[in-house]
Amino acid sequence: MNNAIQRRIADLEQYLPALTAEPDLDAFWNETLAFAKDKPLNGTRQLTETPLGGMEAYRVEYEGFDSTRIHGWFILPKNRSADAKLPCVVLYHGYTGSKGYPEDFAQYAMMGIAAFAVDVRGQGGDTGNLLAQRHGMTRGWLTQNILNKNECYYKAISLDALKALEWAAAQPEVDAGRICAMGGSQGGGLALLAAAMSEVPSIAVAHIPNMCHMDFGILNSSSSLTEAADFLNRFPDKLDDVLRTLSYFDMINLAHRIRIPVLVSVGLKDPVTMPETIYAAYNRIESDKRIEVYPFQGHAVGGDQNRKALEFMRTRFNF
């Protein structure tokens, strides 16, 4: 059968827009990762109460890009052997969201694995943002310092995400060889970036990921990139500068660095993380990869996606 749905998917599978990488992309990330490696976490964890008796929950703080205290929940199954080394999933939320409540991650404790859910700075959680502001912004957070790749919001949240993996790997209950980076939308983009730039995760799950093919997204999508579009409508002379900054964090330019198994999902009716943007990055991933396509889904992560992610982790972690 050759129907419109199959033709649409076939076209997307061949979609390979031109890269937007700057000549110093590798040098930028080598310097950035060297800085991150040497920066201490200064992490803390404190046991907290939860209504669910089958898990332990710890309130966590650590430092990522700067001295901002990033908040998170560390979840463990309660009935585990004292010397158990557990797989761990590190979870990044969508734009404007937060780490939520410890109970939101009970399914991982029921699976017998650890979970570490973190805030993205400045958004809807407990975490503030000490990033100095060098230029005027439009609504939201994305345009903070968007004219400078070394001080921009994307760099800050990227390093915060990488340091979250480092914190998880250092916990005595965690098997550092079985860590999954996972998220949806903004969190999916951070999961892909973590897969590309960190040696910590052994697998990654990126549901409807943002931070992909951002030059296309800024022109066409209804995502957080509309904030950058508003910025450029106000400062039209800054177009090249903004696109240059975004290119350093665009998964279309970083996907080839991924060397671990990756599960990605996409909705063909998604106006936020549009299918073109996701496939533009996915098609450049050279590692073991799989994409789950939902032809009639918009910008959402549903039960089927969640189940497939759990099955992916169970299979890859061999437990």
Q: Report the distance separating Cα 67 and Cα 291, nearest Å.
A: 37
Looking at the chain, which runs of residues are DSSP E strands? 44-48, 55-63, 69-77, 86-92, 114-118, 174-184, 203-207, 262-267, 289-294
- Residue 229 domain-assigned? yes
- Residue 12 domain-assigned? no
Active site residue 135: no
The string of DSSP codes covering 69-85 is EEEEEEEEESS--TT--
User: Regarding beta strands 44-48 and 262-267, do their DSSP bridges make them parallel or antiparallel, or are they unpaired?
Assistant: unpaired
Q: Which of 119, 175, 250, 270 is catalytic?
A: 270
pLDDT of 319: 82
The CA distances from residue 214 to 83, 246, 262, 285, in Å, are 45, 7, 20, 17
Token readout for 145 is: 């310092």
- Residue 8 domain-assigned? no
Q: Is the pLDDT of residue 158 over 70?
A: yes
- Residue 168 domain-assigned? yes
Average pLDDT over residues 227-234: 97
How would residue 226 be classed by pLDDT, with cut points 50, 70 and 90?
A: very high
Burial of 214 from C-beta contacts in 10 A (0-12 / 13-18 / 19+): buried
- Residue 97 domain-assigned? yes
Active site residue 213: no
238-264 residue pLDDT tens: 999 999 999 999 999 999 999 999 999
Q: Where does residue 174 fall: left (phi above 0), alpha (psi -120 to 50 degrees), or beta otherwise? A: beta
pLDDT of 182: 98
How would residue 152 be classed by pLDDT, with cut points 50, 70 and 90?
A: very high
Which run of H or of E encompasses 227?
A: helix 225-234
262-284 residue pLDDT tens: 999 999 999 999 999 999 999 99
Q: Report the distance separating Cα 233 and Cα 239, nearest Å.
A: 9
Q: What values do phi and psi take at 35, rounded to 5?
A: -65, -45
Q: What values do phi and psi take at 209, rounded to 5?
A: -70, 140
Please give the mean pLDDT across all residues of the chain.
97
- Nearest by Cα to 192 from 268, 258, 113, 146: 258
Please state the domain count of the chain.
1
Q: Which of 185, 198, 202, 223 is catalytic?
A: 185
Average pLDDT over residues 172-190: 98
Neighbours of 190 (CB within 10 A): 33
For residue 274, the domain's CATH number is 3.40.50.1820
Q: Which of 71, 93, 213, 299 is catalytic?
A: 299
- Residue 128 domain-assigned? yes
Token readout for 124 is: 């809807």
Contact 248, 28 (CB under 8 A): yes
1-25 residue pLDDT tens: 589 999 999 999 999 999 999 999 9
50-73 residue pLDDT tens: 999 999 999 999 999 999 999 999
- Residue 7 domain-assigned? no
Supply the range of the domain harboring residue 213.
Answer: 21-314
Active site residue 299: yes
Q: SS3 of 293, please? A: strand
70-87 residue pLDDT tens: 999 999 999 888 888 999
Residue 62 marked as a ligand binder: no
- Residue 297 domain-assigned? yes
86-95 residue pLDDT tens: 999 999 999 9
Percent of the chain clearing pLDDT 70 (strictly above): 100
pLDDT of 1: 59
